[in-house]
Structure 1
Amino acid sequence: MDEHGAWRSPLTAAAVASTGLRLSGVALDAAGRAWWSEGRPAEGGRVAVLRREPDGRVVEAAPGLDARTRVHEYGGGAWGLVRDARGETGAVLASASDQRWFHAAAGRPPRPLTPADGVRYADPDQAGDGIVLVAEDVREGVPRRSLVHVPLDGSGPRELFEGPRFLAAPRVSPDGSRLVWTSWEHPDMPWQSTLLWEARLDVAAGQLSDVRVLAGRDRRESLVHPGFAPDGTVLVVSDRSGWWNLHEVGPDGGLRPLLAEAADQGFPPWVFATTSWAALDADRVALVHAADVGYRLDVVHRAGGRVEALDLPFTAYAPVLAGGGGRVVAVAASPTAPAAVVVVDPADPADPTAPAVDVVRVSAAAPDPAHLPVPQPLSLPSAGGRTVHAHRYPPTHPDHPDAGAAPHVLFVHGGPTAQSQAAYSPEVAFFTSRGIGVVDVQYGGSTGYGRAYREALDGNWGVVDVEDCTAVARWLVEEGLAPPGRVGIRGGSAGGFTVLAALTGTDAFSAGTSYYGVADLRALAAETHDFESRYLDSLVGPLPAAEDVYVERAPLSHVDGLSCPVLLLQGADDPVVPRSQAEAFAAALHRKGLPHALVVFPGEQHGFRRAENVAAALEAELSFYGQVWGFDPPGVPRLHLDG
């Protein structure tokens, strides 16, 4: 029998890297056409904006254009729909090359709307004959952000509002007379404390009036995903109950929950244009909310709060949603179905008991389900009486029905204020189909489990997350699911920090892979971009008072405690976690004489976009585990280890 890790799998690294489209934003236009954006690894990660015509043809709005913005560095909100003076629907979108915005109408080449002057824009919503955007000017050192109105005639941006350090989610009322948006200040992040603003909007004059804070002034709460119902009522997701729940906002700023439940109905806005809800009509709202396993998309009636359960075959949703004509478009997935753009009609005349689901675009062709693991939800005891949540994906292969004890790798998500949903993952299946189990750890600090769970990491980054991962690793061995000495850990960005902290601070793991992970907290605080530059105030402590804590928590400070091999994978041009951190950790490993490898990918930033690099990283990781755990994965180049 083949050894665990050496099972022959149809899922090659090249297939994992090149076949998966990265589906993101969605929209429905007045004609009922679905629009979406997709990142294409085979084209260097280029993001294309597309629509599906009634005859089934898929048309790209601006062929060749890479629709990405760098506002807050993470971007998002790089395109939207507009109707011009002729009533024709087109797209407005940002060009990654120079950050200019363009109007792409049918039958005409894209026309520039903003100058190439270094100012960046994101998160469009139509207002009259133009769009409202968040503008970010980084030319003078300290970023300056504002709300602007950009006419479709190309006459250039007009500033509407400025003042707060961060601005997001400008949304225009259905009648075009009002604008809402959110803001926050250092040192907060938007999942900690935000303000919800409202103003009268006069597009002709290019100005706002009656500007006021609508909610958030009298308490610390996270207000995210603002918008309007068709009748002009403001809706927003607030966590004032301890859970992100969708609320109606009254004229006096009072909040009324549409569906009060001990479950999250929102997502952390790491990027622009995120939401968890979409109005279907004056009464019905489509809402994504956490369930026992994963997430559900259901319909909530504003009048009375009645829930219309849709019972869709999906367990995971991207934080994008749009409604129109009584239907909703989303990006959804399940453990055996890759992410897809789907249009859901909750009222299917052919079968009133079941919603109609139209699959518009599939991100990848799914392999044989016999090679796909079904996640097992876990809630395990951790240090300090806490509970840690996780999803275990067992080794799965039709030729190996009884895997027995198998090596496992813990997947640690980034953020750290984020989560990994229970859904099809070609990366997970790449390992499980070869006989290596995977556990996605939703350590304390993760989203999806309420505000208190998110705040468990406050002041404890590098402590609670490490304790939770250690608890999962030891449980795997105690339960006989993994042999002693064959549990590894891998993660990217903030997850990479947890990997390095766990490897230098515990003996629970025998191998670790860090994708562009943080090794030096003090350097991260000094070098990272503005959006996250004060994030560590809450995760670790404010500087300079907490200087000693930064040094103590940094994995670089504890390399002497490391006794297992490490693989470091890094983008050469990463602006978030500079390559210098990976190089410093590799130098420390070299001095200690431990087996290790540092692989730097030219042209990559924070996250690998090029298919060839994604594939090379996966193959390097599998070869690394093979050398540490004593198996030889077939068809995979052998990674050279130093030390």
Structure 2
Amino acid sequence: MTGGVGMTTTTAAYGSWPSPVDAALAAAHDGRPEYPGVVGDELWWTEPRPAEGGRRALVRRRADGTEEGVLPAPWNVRSRVIEYGGLPWAAVPRPAGGPLLVFCHFPDQRLYAYEPDAGPDATPRPLTPVSGTGGGLRWVDPVIHRERGEVWCVLEEFTGPSPTDVRRVIAAVPLDGSAAEDRAAVRELSDDGHRFVTGPRLSPDGRRAAWIAWDHPRMPWDGTEVQLAEVTPDGTFHGATTVAGGPAESIPQVDWDAAGRLLLVSDRTGWWNLYRAELDPRGGLGEQAALCPRAEEFGGPLWKIGLNWFAPLENGLIAVVHGKGTTSLGILDPERGALVDAAGPWTEWAPTLAAHGTRAIGVAAGPHSSYELVELDTRTGRTRVVGAAHTDAVDPAHHPEPRVRTFTGPGGREIHAQIYPPHHPGFTGPPDELPPYVIWAHGGPTGHAPLVLDLEITYFTSRGIGVAEVNYGGSTGYGREYRERLREQWGVVDVEDCAAVAAALAAEGTADPARLAVRGGSAGGWTTAASLVATDVYACGTIIYPILDLRGWATDETHDFESQYLHGLIGSIDEVPARYKERSPIEHVDRVTAPFLLLQGLDDVICPPAQAERFLTRTAGRGVPHAYLAFEGEGHGFRRADTMVRALEAELALYARVFGITRTDVPDLEYRT
């Protein structure tokens, strides 16, 4: 049959279509640029290098538009503070000799200083020491103060062998290298009275520092506090006090405008909105005025230290990332409350903004483009791509056309999702056949599935397998009430919402009810495993670096940042111990009857392989076909190209076997029973 002018469409079984998007291509385009910053007249950022062992490279765009690496391999610009890291670099221009860079190197987590334009013999020099205690010393969110000869940042210091033997403070590291072998040469600017802190933001006159702090058992999207301190002439903090926030108010970002007024994002109304406050004569805050009150988000979950959803510009305007479900880059006039969005095809802006004069730079993607660096000039209103520009790896006709949907779940609650139907310009399915679909559960669980081009999704849809990304109750982007649906309901609401979307797709004739799968990583891996335990909706599942044993995860099997996350998601283990057993997939392997694939990084300290191995031990001999792939050198989130290729091909092999699809382009799996 004919599919269009000059194009012939072949009818073939769903899932059997050939595709130019192989696993290697999808792996090569995994990840996104992060942490843009302006250094003199250059734009710098980090970007993933899956083919180089998964390192994060630091890239610069010179004034003539050429892009080049700042540091050669194997330098890896990435922090491990709270394991998820955060802003790992800072650089400042100098009158001579080129810029000065300070960065965190992933393998040893030391801070290094480097002058990239100092000549071919220039090499990074360490600024901080190595500690043999626990996880050592880690650093994030640096700001260089050349006039003081220091870099100020967050220090995470392990005090014992346990992942929770840790303290965090704001610290000042000498730029002269005197602390490279001497921990005592590092000045502590804040005390360790709070478990978690962000880096300080200095007022324009340099006399005040503001930062965010919070404590267990709250996560930063539950409740945080804004700390304000005087900065004395000798560079110490004095009189730190709480001026905003609380246990039920999430403030994920704080900064200053040019007039010395404090800017902060708060969800006190149920939505993360932007506020401004004058300092009162006693050093506290005056009235906090909402600058653009709306039922949408101007902030998000603080999973990494140094994320920012707004950036003040020198003309008094404020660049903001905002939206409901999808996000836009807007320019806010704080005096009038007027908000004008940047024009363009982008539907997701990452919370990593940079400001340069009257220009804002962000990282954005859309349904037909991957993440790229975009600049908005507020003088002209024009946008342009300025780095890591999207290029079509294949004919874009192979990409799916997503449909944003709202489904109805138990009790009539709304469930948000993106549906990616099977799509190929040269193939269509038989008229008497419905396509298989895979339900994707995102991680977090306090997270969000963005509406962007993802070649992993195209990998499946271009072969005739549909994908549905579910922003189940508990997801961000829809206000605090939607986010709070998961409170003490993890393993219930997320499972029900994913199943409701799957059932609706089958009932309306979009998906084959006999060929539904579920997959997810991290918290999404939990939802996948819990779904295979609690429902009979799915024919199979792909469980990726999951949480499987709540009691283990609540005691000593995860890192400090999330060690008490379950207080909100499940309840206190001391108060509801039975719930931990009731919800854990590992306690109910006898209910798993569908085949599954389990993928695990052996260096994962967030969802450790011990949980996966215990789950497999209990599953053995029960007659359920399953496969297990463990990857050396991989942690939480696969970063190496060879790992991603093997994992993606294994996932397709599982679906081919279970859905009755003939494929010869992926290796078979070795199944256990």
TM-score by structure 2 length?
Answer: 0.91
The 3-state SS of whatever aligns with 1:581 is: helix
Aligned position for 1:263: 296
1:476 to 488, 505, 511: 505
The 3-state SS of whatever aligns with 1:592 is: coil
The 3-state SS of whatever aligns with 1:530 is: coil
Shift of 1:87: 9.0
Aligned position for 1:351: none
Find the aligned partners of 1:618 and 1:638 in 2 and give their Cα distance: 12
The 3-state SS of whatever aligns with 2:33 is: strand
1:335 to 360, 367, 376: 367
Does residue 428 in structure 1 map to residue 428 in structure 2?
Answer: no
Does residue 395 in structure 1 map to residue 398 in structure 2?
Answer: no
Which moved further from structure 2: 154-163 or 255-264? 154-163
2:151 to 125, 128, 131: 131
Find the aligned partners of 1:174 and 1:42 in 2 and give their Cα distance: 42
2:645 to 593, 615, 618: 615
2:169 to 117, 123, 146: 146
Which moved further from structure 2: 48-57 or 448-457? 48-57
Which moved further from structure 2: 606-615 or 99-108? 99-108
Unaligned runs of 5+ residues in structure 2 are 1-10, 180-185
Find the aligned partners of 1:342 and 1:63 in 2 and give their Cα distance: 25
Matches within 5 A, 1:451-462: 451-462=480-491
Find the aligned partners of 1:410 and 1:445 in 2 and give their Cα distance: 17
Does residue 60 in structure 1 map to residue 93 in structure 2?
Answer: no
Find the aligned partners of 1:573 and 1:509 in 2 and give their Cα distance: 30
Find the aligned partners of 2:213 and 2:607 in 1 and give their Cα distance: 25
Which AA in structure 2 matches 1:59?
E
Find the aligned partners of 2:627 and 2:218 in 1 and give their Cα distance: 36
Find the aligned partners of 2:607 and 2:176 in 1 and give their Cα distance: 40
Find the aligned partners of 1:640 and 1:249 in 2 and give their Cα distance: 61
Find the aligned partners of 1:90 and 1:436 in 2 and give their Cα distance: 49
Aligned position for 2:335: 303
Matches within 5 A, 1:376-455: 376-400=403-427, 405-455=434-484
Check 1:85–1:544 CA distance in 2 against 1; reply closer, same or farther (3 A cut). farther
Contact 2:222 2:249 (8 Å CA) reproduced: yes
Find the aligned partners of 2:68 and 2:174 in 1 and give their Cα distance: 25
The 3-state SS of whatever aligns with 1:466 is: helix
Find the aligned partners of 2:427 and 2:51 in 1 and give their Cα distance: 33
Contact 1:229 1:282 (8 Å CA) reproduced: no
Which AA in structure 1 matches 2:111?
W
Does residue 557 in structure 1 map to residue 587 in structure 2?
Answer: yes
What do the CA deviations read for 1:281-300 (whole angstroms, capped 9, x no partner)? Answer: 24211111114x62111111
Find the aligned partners of 2:310 and 2:393 in 1 and give their Cα distance: 28
Aligned position for 1:535: 565
Contact 2:436 2:465 (8 Å CA) reproduced: yes
Matches within 5 A, 1:511-590: 511-526=540-555, 527-590=557-620
Shift of 1:362: 2.8
Aligned position for 2:656: 626
Contact 1:540 1:549 (8 Å CA) reproduced: yes
1:38 to 42, 47, 62: 47
Find the aligned partners of 2:177 and 2:255 in 1 and give their Cα distance: 27
Shift of 1:590: 2.1
Find the aligned partners of 1:319 and 1:566 in 2 and give their Cα distance: 34
Matches within 5 A, 1:13-32: 13-20=23-30, 22-31=32-41
Find the aligned partners of 1:84 and 1:197 in 2 and give their Cα distance: 32
Aligned position for 2:59: 50
Shift of 1:602: 1.0
1:234 to 229, 245, 262: 262
Identity of aligned residues (%): 41
Which moved further from structure 2: 114-123 or 4-13? 114-123
What do the CA deviations read for 1:203-251 (whole angstroms, capped 9, x no partner)? Answer: x62411232212014x620001211222222211100010011111332
2:623 to 590, 593, 614: 593
Contact 1:119 1:139 (8 Å CA) reproduced: no
Which AA in structure 2 matches 1:478?
A
Find the aligned partners of 1:537 and 1:206 in 2 and give their Cα distance: 38
Aligned position for 2:321: 288
Does residue 179 in structure 1 map to residue 188 in structure 2?
Answer: no
Shift of 1:22: 3.0
The 3-state SS of whatever aligns with 1:22 is: coil
Does residue 116 in structure 1 map to residue 143 in structure 2?
Answer: no
Contact 1:297 1:312 (8 Å CA) reproduced: no
Shift of 1:62: 2.6
Which moved further from structure 2: 560-569 or 490-499? 560-569
Find the aligned partners of 1:517 and 1:484 in 2 and give their Cα distance: 26
TM-score by structure 1 length?
Answer: 0.95
Matches within 5 A, 1:59-78: 59-64=68-73, 65-78=75-88
Check 1:523–1:377 CA distance in 2 against 1; reply closer, same or farther (3 A cut). same
Find the aligned partners of 1:476 and 1:556 in 2 and give their Cα distance: 29
Find the aligned partners of 2:457 and 2:436 in 1 and give their Cα distance: 14
Which AA in structure 2 matches 1:133?
C
What do the CA deviations read for 1:379-415 (whole angstroms, capped 9, x no partner)? Answer: 1110122111111011111013567621000110000
Which AA in structure 1 matches 2:127?
L
Which moved further from structure 2: 77-86 or 602-611? 77-86
Unaligned runs of 5+ residues in structure 1 are 349-353
Which moved further from structure 2: 275-284 or 65-74? 275-284
Shift of 1:88: 4.9
